Amino acid sequence: MITEIDCQKHNDLELVELVLSDTDYYACLVNRYIEALRRYVLRLGSNPTDADDILQEVFLSAYLHLNDFDKKLKFSSWIYRIAHNQTVSAFRKSNVRPTVELSDLEPWQEMVRDSCPGTKFDQELLASKTKAILEQLEPKYREVLVLKYFEDKDYSEMSDILKKPMGTIATLVSRAKRQVAKMAEGENLK
């Protein structure tokens, strides 16, 4: 039986090697990433029920493809990539528009403020209109903003997760912020 203490002794790469010889070690990786990935999947626009199904698929798929993991990448980038792909695929299959969960509103508000530098916002108005802005945001822009403002990923990690060149990621972030600024103006938040 693998204990939490056993898990803590190993980094991600060591755990990947251990899982290949002893499946029980997979619990360490699942437990290490499950909460972060759940939040990520929800922030991408999944509802809580679908998020659990998506996560099961993510961890099964990761296990099946463990031998395909490129050890020059961070394991976190690799599993975030799988989570991203599964979530987008689930949206496509269900043909449902991503929903916006506002349980963690503050980072989104920070992102809106960051997109409109030098602007003084009416705090109450900002809180009430943030959801409207996010719902209008194109998914490709929301994806990069979630990774940057919530998951604290740098451009290199974002590039590995979304499988896009770093220059493209920087352009997407910049365009996303411009779109947010434009929407904030449309909502008269200033």
Partner 1 sequence: MTSISDKVLDKIKKEHIRPRPRWQFWLRDGGQWAGFVMLLLLAAFALGLLWYFWSDGPWLHGGRSMGLFFGPMPLALLGLVALGWVLASIDFSSTGRGYRYPLIKIGAALLLLAVVSGWALNFLGVSQRMDRAFSNSPLYQDRESYMKNVWQRPSEGLLAGEISSVGTDGRFTFRDFDGRDWLVDGSGAVWRHGLVPAIGARVKLIGTPRGGNFTAEEVRPWMGPGSCGMTQGGGSCRMMR
Would you tell me which residues interact with partner 1 (CB under 8 A)? 19-20, 23-24, 26-27, 30-31, 34, 52, 55-56, 59-60, 63-68, 70, 72, 159, 163-168
For 102-131, letters b (16+ CB in 10 Å) and e give eeeeebbbebbbebbeeeebeeeebeebbe
**Which C-beta is closer to partner 1: that of 7 or that of 125?**
7
CB of 181: closest distance to partner 1 in angstroms? 26
**Which C-beta is closer to partner 1: that of 61 or that of 136?**
61
Q: Where are the alpha helices (DSSP H) in the chain?
A: 4-8, 12-21, 26-43, 48-64, 75-94, 105-115, 123-136, 139-145, 155-162, 166-186
CB of 85: closest distance to partner 1 in angstroms? 13
**Which C-beta is closer to partner 1: that of 20 or that of 96?**
20
CB of 159: closest distance to partner 1 in angstroms? 6
**Which C-beta is closer to partner 1: that of 3 or that of 119?**
3
CB of 66: closest distance to partner 1 in angstroms? 4
- Alpha carbon distance 116, 66 (integer Å): 42
